[in-house]
Amino acid sequence: MTKSSPSGYTSLLQSIRAHAPGEHQGADLPLRISQERAEAMLHVVHDLGGQPDGPLDKSLHTPAYWEKCTHSTAECLAWRGVWVAEERRRRENDLGETIYFGTPYYARWLLAATKMLIDKGLITPDELLEKMEEVRHREEGAA
Amino acid sequence: MSKFNVGDRVTIRDLPPLFHTRTQGYTRGRTGVVVALRPEWVIPEDEAWGRYEGRREPFYMVRFNQRDLWPDYGGVAIDTLETEFSERWLEPAANASPAAGNG
Amino acid sequence: MNTSQDHGHDHSHAAIEERDEAIEFTVLETAIRELSIAKGLFSAEDHRRFMEWYDQVGHTGGARVVARAWVDPAFKQRLLADGVAACKELGIDWLQPTGVGTPSDYTYLIVCENTPQIHNVIVCTLCSCYPRPLLGMSPAWYERSNYRRRVVRWPRQVLAEFGTIIPGDVEVRVHDSNQKTRYMVLPMRPAGTEGWSEERLMSIITRDTMIGVALPDIDWTTSSTPSGTGQPA
């Protein structure tokens, strides 16, 4: 959104700092790590049951068009044998905690699907980036 | 053939968690009762890593007493939780363990 | 897009989110969909069918199943014995839209009957497994972390946050859907609904009653439909 100018880029960096878990940002390849900390950090990301948390936020959400499309795209890829749901869930974990908890629910599906397509050689990263630029110009032209 | 039957007391194996799992951490090492046999499905350990036609195994629904899952459980003694496991995650409960589940 | 000058100072997270919504996900989704279709991984028609399915599923299907189970004991027995087959009787086909079911929702349904002795509630702590063909898309709180973290360990507190107080002599049974089975709660029919049509019964069978975080509330309906005729959900 703001990365086209140098000042925009620095504010993007600031935003990254603001949104990333502070503890991880402050870490710098620790030379030693306690077993307790290792276990906490290697805990499987999605295995949440029993973790303490505050009162529930019962807000409802009307899915955006991209969220509906993401659901359908991920399901079509599975329907046609490119992956299965359990692989999708594993790949959501692979995105890491910052993205897992820090983006909307369907962003996980979308990023997992994208990486899967690249991993399997079904699309190349360069053609994806070209396509994204094309779509971005189309979207901004339409806006 | 299924190794366990409805009514059997089983303990969930406590293997190290890494990367991905369908066996919740809160069930590991805990004892419950088999309440239903489920179909044979491809195990999630294969599906998750791209072996779509992988190993098929019987699945079981296991019921736990909440007080056996959470030492500080604040609800009432009759509260329970049910979830499913493939056969490789279950072992017969040691005889000394207190009975779990109520069914 | 807009930047610099007037936005040189710090913003709180909320302000950032209010100012503009990310276009990034729209761009990425469109890109991988168009590339996938161009390479023949799936067709535009496949995608259209899933989008239509997405718009067509909703908790009305579940409400219809529950209302029928309340008025027809034989149907209820079939529903408890084989949920998918019973759904099909009412036109809810778990094999749609592909002919073999949806990849994420499978075709196994267990209906958990609430009784005077047992109150059921469903969750998926490891992701957000949900009976979508029957209840539609899950509510945001079902997908988000807080519910997944807490309802398996503090179910009575979480239910209380929904205004649902379960007496101490009733067992609360949590179903954590961690494999291919999907669950739906069959709530108890409240007293005072004798003689109601199935359509009117459906008006009190909310999505939350079929997740198990709420109980059918007869007062809610009578106060919000002054005519007393009820409305399809």
Q: Where exactly are the structural domains of chain B?
A: 9-92
Task: Pick the residue from chain B with its C-alpha nearest to C127.
Answer: B22
- Best CA proximity match to B42, nearest among C186, C48, C106, A110: C106
A65 is catalytic: no
Of the residues C87, C112, C128, C177, only one is catalytic, namely: C128
Q: Report chain A residues whose CB lies below 8 A from the CB of B49.
A: 87, 90
> Quick one: pLDDT band at residue A19, thresholds 50, 70, 90?
low
- Average pLDDT on B89-101 reads 72
Listed by start position, the domains of chain C span 20-56, 59-211
- Best CA proximity match to A113, nearest among A83, A137, A136, A133: A83
Task: Pick the residue from chain C with its C-alpha nearest to B41.
Answer: C180
- Best CA proximity match to C3, nearest among A17, A3, A2: A2
Domain B9-92 has CATH 3.40.190.10: no
Whether residue B73 and residue C175 make contact (CB cut-off 8 A), yes or no, is no
pLDDT digit string, tens, across residues C34-65: 999 999 999 999 999 999 999 999 999 999 99
Whether residue B25 and residue A84 make contact (CB cut-off 8 A), yes or no, is no
Buried b (16+ CB within 10 A) or exposed e, C122-136: bbbbbbbbbbbbbbb
Q: Report chain C residues whose CB lies below 8 A from the CB of B32.
A: none
Q: How many residues does chain C have?
A: 233
**Closest residue to A47, CB basis, from B21, B44, B47:** B21
Q: Which of A43, A82, A83, A90 to mutate to test the interface with B (most CBs of B within 10 A)?
A: A90
C127 is catalytic: yes
- Verify cis geometry, omega within 30 degrees of 0, for the bond prior to C97: yes
Pairing of β C108-113 and β B9-12: unpaired
> Quick one: pLDDT band at residue C5, thresholds 50, 70, 90?
very low
Tell me the residue type at A33. Answer: I
User: Does residue A139 register a pLDDT over 90?
Assistant: no
pLDDT digit string, tens, across residues C112-161: 999 999 999 999 999 999 999 999 999 999 999 999 999 999 999 999 99
Q: Report chain C residues whose CB lies below 8 A from the CB of B69.
A: 152-153
Of the residues C12, C87, C104, C124, only one is catalytic, namely: C124
pLDDT digit string, tens, across residues A49-73: 998 899 999 999 999 999 999 999 9
**Closest residue to A66, CB basis, from C29, C35, C158:** C29
- The CA distance from C207 to C213, in Å, is 9
pLDDT for position A21: 63
Of the residues C129, C138, C177, C203, only one is catalytic, namely: C129
Whether residue A136 and residue C27 make contact (CB cut-off 8 A), yes or no, is yes
pLDDT digit string, tens, across residues C163-181: 999 999 999 999 999 999 9
Whether residue B17 and residue A84 make contact (CB cut-off 8 A), yes or no, is no
Q: Which chains touch A (3 or more CB pairs under 8 A)?
A: B, C
> Quick one: pLDDT band at residue A26, thresholds 50, 70, 90?
confident
Whether residue C155 and residue B79 make contact (CB cut-off 8 A), yes or no, is yes
Given strand B9-12, what is the order of strands in its sheet?
B90-92, B9-12, B31-42, B56-65, B80-86, C171-176, C118-123
Whether residue A135 and residue C50 make contact (CB cut-off 8 A), yes or no, is no
User: Does residue C19 register a pLDDT over 60?
Assistant: no
The DSSP code for A56 is -
Would you tell me which residues 105-134 of chain A have a C-beta closer than 8 angstroms to some C-beta of chain C?
105-107, 110-111, 113-114, 117, 122-123, 127-128, 131-132, 134
Whether residue C34 and residue A131 make contact (CB cut-off 8 A), yes or no, is yes
Q: Report chain A residues whose CB lies below 8 A from the CB of C23.
A: 1, 136, 139-140
Write the CB contacts of C40 (distance below 8 Å, at least 6 apart in sequence).
none
Would you tell me which residues 42-101 of chain A have a C-beta closer than 8 angstroms to some C-beta of chain B?
42-44, 46-47, 49-50, 81, 83-87, 89-90, 93-94
Q: Does A53 touch chain C (CB under 8 A)?
A: yes
Mean pLDDT across chain A, nearest whole number? 88
- The CA distance from C206 to C215, in Å, is 9
- Best CA proximity match to B34, nearest among B68, B84, B97, B71: B84
Q: How many CA atoms lie within 13 A of A97 on its CB side?
A: 14
Burial, C41: exposed, middle or buried (Cβ in 10 Å; 0-12, 13-18, 19+)?
buried
- The CA distance from C163 to C166, in Å, is 10
CATH topology of domain C59-211: Nitrile Hydratase; Chain A (3.90.330)
pLDDT for position C1: 36
pLDDT for position C21: 81
Q: And the tokens for C220? A: 């809610």
Q: And the tokens for C34? A: 């168009």
User: Does residue A29 register a pLDDT over 90?
Assistant: no
Pairing of β B80-86 and β B56-65: antiparallel
Burial, C217: exposed, middle or buried (Cβ in 10 Å; 0-12, 13-18, 19+)?
middle
